Chain A
Amino acid sequence: MSGPPPPSETGFDTSLYERFPTKGRRPKGELEQLEAIWCAPKGWQWITVINNNYVGVYYVGAAMLFFVLAGVLALLMRTQLALPMQGVLAQETYNQIFTMHGTVMMFLFAVPAVEALGVLLLPQMLGARDLPFPRLSAYAFWAYLIGGLAFFCSLFFGLAPNGGWFMYPPLTSTTYSPGINADFWLLGIGFIEISAIAGAIEIIVGVLKTRAPGMSLDKLPVFAWAMLVFAGMIIIAFPSVILATTLLELERALGWPFFDAARGGDPMLWQHLFWFFGHPEVYIIFLPAAGAMSTIVPAVARTPLVGHWLVVLAFLATGFISFGVWAHHMFTTGLPGVSVGMFSAASMAVSLPAGVQVFSWIATVASGRMTFNAPGLFVLGSLLIFVMGGLTGVMAAMVPFDWQAHDTYFIVAHLHYVLIGGMVFPLFAAIYYWTPMVSARPLSERLGRWTFGLMFVGMHLAFLPMHLTGLMGMPRRVYTYAAGRDWEWPNLISSIGAFVFAAGVLIWLIDMIRNFRPFGASEAGNVYEGGGLEWLPAGLYSTRSIPVVTSLYPLWDQKTLARDVAAGRYFLPGAPTGGRETLVTSPINAEPQYLLHMPVPSGWHVWAAVFTAGFFLLLTVQAYGASVLSGVLAILCVLRWCWFLDHPLPQRTVDVGAGITLPTYASGPSSTGWWAMVVTLVVGGMVLAMSVFSYVFLWSRNPDAWRPPPDMASLAVATVSAAAGGALALLAKRHLARPWLATAMVLSAAALLTLAFGVDLSSWRTTGLEPQASAQGAIVHAILAWQGFFVAVAAIMALYVLMRRLCGYVGPDRPATLELVGLFLAYTAGQGLVGLGVTRLFPAGLA
């Protein structure tokens, strides 16, 4: 690329890139050392492995398993609905099955599948050796697998949730759902959301901080952009459903009336909280698939993506605007007309970015030469199906039409068109396209066409009639229907279509069994001739050397890249510190900043996942003692896992290639750990923000029932205490030259936060406000409980710092731990202040 070099982001001299590719041979043994460090797992190591080449495949595999399981549930449903008034499935069984079909598809298949694609592809695509926190994504995977399987098994005991995937109260309160079915959903899915958030943290940091040098934002692959926005959306959206499930579980277990109208709560609160998550959720599912489309279409059309920057813009716009449409799921609840209009307007706006992408794909196809191979067929099918789904979506965004269509089979048709067209077909395209990257054999082209044909035809047969069925008056979530309404023929056709679709999936399964051979000595390679870095020759260490990127399609534009990378002529041809490493680069221009030392596998993250899952599942079945024990063990495993972190290497700087040296330790805003903590705190902040929303919402429903807060004295003490704690926490890292002082500051900060919390809680108790008696009681105590949870974690962190000090691990050479702990404690202080302000000054302070 010609032109003046861009201004430097970090002070790194980009003319140093001209030293690459280096000349001459690499030293003997360098490659062998790399292979030994990144060796393949043996025996139990298959479970403790953290390399994304393995975890990614496991993850995609688990997601596809849940796809098939939820698909079988759909076949059972369609069998029941093929004819009116059938008794194939009993009413209660059907209600559990349709709830599980939706829940498993949305939570256990769709989000994990695209997250798994990211885990598998991103490091290679970005030129990194692995994700920045490999144990975190492995933990997320195992927690998801164990929890997901246990959750699915609830069906076999008749204990599966039966309130619909969206679980509206009051139907799901203890009065109308007395069993533990609903708790399986609330606790089972609740912690799988944690898994998704862990993955999101990984992806944000990975895309922004671990790219190949020179891969500035304009050369960032479009799939990586999609994953970045996807992960950002998870961070903002998932906390809302975490709060909602926590509140409903508190209502069920302890009787706190958030959603109970008789005691001042409001069922609508659930709907707001759930859909604030639920709508972005479907775009969370769509974006990575769209990113895959924007990667595969150029490859099968053999030409660069037309309007690449417009597609990136579409992702960013979708990421924001999709948060403004949630109430379009609530158009029939009697919301005031103005709000309804706003959400309708935003719902129209959000369809614009989708249209941009569709025409970008069409223009790309026009400017290239399309090949009708398996990935090609799937992308074409996806485009058609998705456009149809998007159009019925625009229809549903028109409020008066939605008044007829809402909660009918018209919407069932719409949602399946957008999800199957916008996610499932792109996913299958991605499976065919990227299988050669991980498997010794590609999948069969012939079987692929059959899979496509059957899925495409079956899909239309199943869901096209449903548009009509809905307008004929058939509502959703019905286990049967009366005869004589002319609903028989469309339902029969839909049921036949479902089985045709399933036949296609079956053929794909056969293809996988016959041809999918991962973890072998070699891979099939760049069968579809894509242009991204993931197609460079690679081993378990990813690429032999990390290239300098000068183009959006490096394999198409930099002709000798593959050969030079494999010969070690770029960054990091070996392992200068003798361990697993990758480069950390700056977010905008990808200038190298430091060398990231990465962990080797150990069992602690797996045990942490097992005990985390155990905590939530034992809580569901009300085995409280065992649950607490499991929780404590989970915390201990996490602490042991963290213990491996923040140990500077003996070499303070190393040569990362061609004489360029980088530090081996970093802290502060340029470090990956700092970013992970900040993103985690954003999650906490969003839960807090949604709690504040809930507080104001519940107040607005019943302002006269609101009681005055405790006295000003307690407010003053708690405020000063929290603020002081936060300040101490942030200042601690400046005193690392005197480690005992720094440690004492952290411990004092935690103590002050505990004091502030204690004063807050006890002063509320003296007012006689009971959490079960009123909505105010419930929400105030919920905000207190959330703060209490953070204070407890802060205390654990402070004790952890004390342990580190006792072992001599606190000092000026390693500020990272103290810095991150300081951030957490400061956030906890801030959160406490917000809680104090909202519960005591609103609306009392306004009067």
Chain B
Amino acid sequence: MNTWLSLLGGLALWAAHFLASYALASLADISPYEHQAPLTWLLAGLTLACVLAAVALGVRAWRATGRPGLGGAFVQRLSALASLLSAIAILWQSAPFLWRY
């Protein structure tokens, strides 16, 4: 189980962030003006949390390539890069929301 979590964790974070962003954006669309700022801060916080988590997962996986567990160095390298790419994608998709504010 851990192997799969490690492998797909970064991408799962991206998916969770995407879902949350989409929900927040939809909410912002039907909410009055006073709610826009808090929603934007919420998304900013979420983005930061997801990016940090993804980077942390990536770093942890990269370090583990030295002492690989189940799946070997292959899985750890994959996890590391997947987490890095997820972090980039998370940043990109937060830009529209944060930009408009």
Any A–B CB pair closer than 8 Å:
yes
**CB < 8 Å neighbour of B72 from A218, A316, A341, A352:** A218
Nearest Cβ on chain A to B74's Cβ, whole angstroms: 3
**CB < 8 Å neighbour of B99 from A7, A317, A341:** A341
Stretch at the interface among A97-105, A187-195, A259-267, A343-351: A343-351
Q: Are A342 and B22 in contact (CB under 8 A)?
A: yes
- Residues of chain B within 8 A (CB-CB) of A324 are 14-15, 18, 93
Q: Are B95 and A341 in contact (CB under 8 A)?
A: yes
- Residues of chain A within 8 A (CB-CB) of B97 are 338, 341-342
- Residues of chain A within 8 A (CB-CB) of B69 are 7
- Residues of chain A within 8 A (CB-CB) of B95 are 341, 345
> Quick one: which of A326-352 are within 8 Å of B by CB?
336-342, 344-346, 348-349, 352
Complex: A349 Cα to B95 Cα, angstroms: 13
**CB < 8 Å neighbour of A313 from B18, B71, B72, B78:** B78
- Residues of chain B within 8 A (CB-CB) of A313 are 78, 81-82, 85
Q: Are B30 and A218 in contact (CB under 8 A)?
A: no
Complex: A662 Cα to B100 Cα, angstroms: 62
Most buried by B among A340, A342, A348, A589: A342
Contact with A along B52-73 (1 / 0, CB 8 A): 0000000000000000111111
Nearest Cβ on chain A to B91's Cβ, whole angstroms: 9
Residue A785 at the chain B interface, CB threshold 8 Å:
no
Q: Are A312 and B78 in contact (CB under 8 A)?
A: yes
**CB < 8 Å neighbour of A6 from B21, B72, B81, B99:** B72
Q: Are B100 and A321 in contact (CB under 8 A)?
A: no
Asked, given contacts A216-B72, A217-B71, A324-B18, whether A316 binds B96 with beta carbons under 8 Å apart, the answer is no
Residue B88 at the chain A interface, CB threshold 8 Å:
yes
Contact with B along A339-369 (1 / 0, CB 8 A): 1111011101100100000000000000000
Residue B48 at the chain A interface, CB threshold 8 Å:
no
Complex: A700 Cα to B25 Cα, angstroms: 13
Cβ-closest chain B residue relative to A219: B74
Residue B92 at the chain A interface, CB threshold 8 Å:
yes
Nearest Cβ on chain B to A301's Cβ, whole angstroms: 22
**CB < 8 Å neighbour of A316 from B18, B82, B92, B93:** B82
**CB < 8 Å neighbour of A339 from B29, B73, B78:** B29
- Residues of chain A within 8 A (CB-CB) of B29 are 336, 338-339
Asked, given contacts A317-B85, A324-B93, A700-B30, whether A336 binds B70 with beta carbons under 8 Å apart, the answer is no
Q: Are B3 and A588 in contact (CB under 8 A)?
A: yes
Cβ-closest chain B residue relative to A700: B30
- Residues of chain B within 8 A (CB-CB) of A339 are 22, 25-26, 29, 96
Q: Are B8 and A346 in contact (CB under 8 A)?
A: no
For this complex, into which size category does the number of interface residues on chain A fall? 20 to 34
Contact with A along B36-60 (1 / 0, CB 8 A): 0000000000000000000000000
Q: Are B71 and A346 in contact (CB under 8 A)?
A: no
> Quick one: which of A344-400 are within 8 Å of B by CB?
344-346, 348-349, 352
Cβ-closest chain B residue relative to A337: B100
Residue A323 at the chain B interface, CB threshold 8 Å:
yes
Residue A9 at the chain B interface, CB threshold 8 Å:
yes
Nearest Cβ on chain B to A551's Cβ, whole angstroms: 13
Complex: A323 Cα to B89 Cα, angstroms: 13
Q: Are A6 and B68 in contact (CB under 8 A)?
A: yes
Q: Are B22 and A589 in contact (CB under 8 A)?
A: no
- Residues of chain B within 8 A (CB-CB) of A471 are none
Residue A310 at the chain B interface, CB threshold 8 Å:
yes
- Residues of chain A within 8 A (CB-CB) of B12 are 320
Q: Are B74 and A346 in contact (CB under 8 A)?
A: no
**CB < 8 Å neighbour of A345 from B30, B82, B93:** B93
Residue A624 at the chain B interface, CB threshold 8 Å:
no
Asked, given contacts A6-B70, A341-B95, A348-B92, whether A316 binds B22 with beta carbons under 8 Å apart, the answer is no
Chain A residues with a Cβ under 8 A of chain B? 6-7, 9, 216-218, 309-310, 312-313, 316-317, 319-321, 323-324, 336-342, 344-346, 348-349, 352, 588-589, 700
Chain B residues with a Cβ under 8 A of chain A? 3, 7-8, 11-12, 14-15, 18, 21-22, 25-26, 28-30, 68-75, 77-78, 81-82, 85-86, 88-89, 92-93, 95-97, 99-100
Additional A-B contact list (13), CB under 8 Å, known A7-B69, A218-B72, A320-B14: A217-B71, A218-B71, A316-B7, A316-B11, A316-B82, A320-B11, A336-B25, A336-B28, A338-B29, A339-B26, A341-B96, A341-B100, A342-B18
Residue contacts A-B, CB under 8 angstroms, 13 given: A313-B82, A316-B8, A316-B78, A317-B86, A319-B11, A320-B8, A320-B11, A321-B89, A338-B29, A340-B96, A342-B93, A346-B89, A352-B85
